Amino acid sequence: MIFEVAHPISEIIEPEELLMSVDPNAHGYHLPVLLREVIEHLAPGPGKVMVDCTLGGGGHSEALLESGARVIGIDQDPDALAHAGQRLSSYGEMFTAVQASFHEIEDVLRSLGVDRVDGILADLGVSSYQLDTASRGFSFQRDGALDMRMSPSNPVTAATLVNTAAEEELARIFRDFGDEPASRRVAARIVRERVVTPFSHTLQLAETVASVIPKKSRIHPATRIFQALRIAVNREYEVLDAGLEAFTRVAAPGARVGLIAFHSGEDRRVKHYFKERAQEFTDRPEWPSPRPNPLYQYRLITSRPVIAGELEQRANPRSRSAKLRVAERLPKN
Ligand SMILES: C[S@@+](CC[C@H](N)C(=O)[O-])C[C@H]1O[C@@H](n2cnc3c(N)ncnc32)[C@H](O)[C@@H]1O
């Protein structure tokens, strides 16, 4: 699905100034996190082509467009495309929205006749709209079908996994993707219960998990299990790893690539990817003949992750776990 419409070009404006014209929560779909920091670090502007790999409600895209850049917005969820497409329609042909997964960025760009881009943003995970829409099945607090797919073309729902995966596999998902200490016990209980009644709804699963993991803090016992299932259903780590490789191939020399992660499993992958590629030598540079790093492709723009300031954290609790890392593509490799 591609939207292309009319055509304004903004003048060069400072990040602070351009953000004043962006309504961060237009239509209440999703409040973009670290908006000012993203614009500062990705340095969009007139003449540049930026890809927003996770369009969502279009908040980050709107700020990128306000800088005067052309924006290609990708999302695998048709709801997000419809929403952002409408919100950003006044930017005309400066904005194009494409339904795809971001690891397919090369196919997307090829279909648009673009071969290199000047900036890439991926604001990982799900939007507030997806989380809050009970029928999407992401929330353990709202009853809905146990779905959790970001893309309707994905054949595997959370219910499919919960009802058919082997006990060992479920335990591995809960441990590796949710860091859940009770992974084995939860998997065993699910397998016992699904024989009697297959799982079809979110609250049904949340109650089963709560019966295994006692509530010790304000955090709901099903938090980690739901996160793990969502990651497995959408193959989020696999897609992130493939996405990082694809971003490197399409980023022009000097392009800034930024990712916002919301939990340690995601952030670790982004951190290691950039760290490995920001070292000129595989040996210590002071050694007599240090070996050059064949993967030397980036300069780190953020040596530490950028996190939300106190004001943003208070206004938008979701921003508390956000970590932005940005690197600049080098001409070599
Ligand atoms: C956190 S929201 C992005 C919010 C957006 N930055 C904004 O300002 O509204 C994440 C969005 O990325 C989409 N998404 C997640 N993984 C994706 C992937 N691999 N490819 C394409 N879209 C993805 C989700 O469907 C969701 O709409």
Tokens of 150: 């970001």
Domains and CATH numbers, the chain: 2-129+237-329 (3.40.50.150), 155-233 (1.10.150.170)
Specify the pLDDT at position 9.
Answer: 25
Q: Which residues make Cβ contacts (< 8 Å) with residue 73, sequence separation at least 6?
A: 51, 52, 55, 58, 61, 81, 84, 88, 95, 96, 97, 98
Question: How distant, in Å, are the alpha carbons of 39, 179, 303, 323 from that of 320?
Answer: 19, 19, 19, 9
Q: Ligand 1 center to residue 293 CA distance, Å?
A: 33
- The per-residue pLDDT for range 200-242, each reduced to its tens digit, is 999 999 999 999 998 888 889 999 999 999 999 999 999 999 9
What global pTM score does this model have? 0.91
Residue 64, H or E segment: helix 59-66
**Alpha carbon distance, N-terminus to C-terminus of the chain:** 33
Q: Ligand 1 center to residue 211 CA distance, Å?
A: 32
Q: Is the dihedral of CA 174, 175, 176, 177 positive or negative?
A: positive
User: Which protein residue has the closest C-alpha to ligand 1 atom 5?
Assistant: 56
Nearest to 39 by CA among 21, 66, 9, 58: 66
What residues are in contact with ligand 1 under a 6 Å CB criterion? 30, 32, 54, 56-60, 74-77, 80, 101-102, 123, 125-127, 150, 239
- The per-residue pLDDT for range 10-62, each reduced to its tens digit, is 223 334 444 444 544 455 789 999 999 999 999 999 999 999 999 999 999 99
Nearest to 205 by CA among 155, 161, 162, 157: 162
Q: Ligand 1 center to residue 169 CA distance, Å?
A: 27
For the chain, state the CA radius of gyration: 21
Specify the pLDDT at position 286.
Answer: 79
- The per-residue pLDDT for range 184-201, each reduced to its tens digit, is 999 999 999 999 999 999
User: Which protein residue has the closest C-alpha to ligand 1 atom 8?
Assistant: 59
Burial 163-191 (b: 16+ CB within 10 A, else e): bebeeeebbbbbbebbebebbbebbebbb
Q: State the closest ligand 1 atom to the C-alpha of 79, by its place in the atom list counted from 1.
A: 27
298-319 mean pLDDT: 97
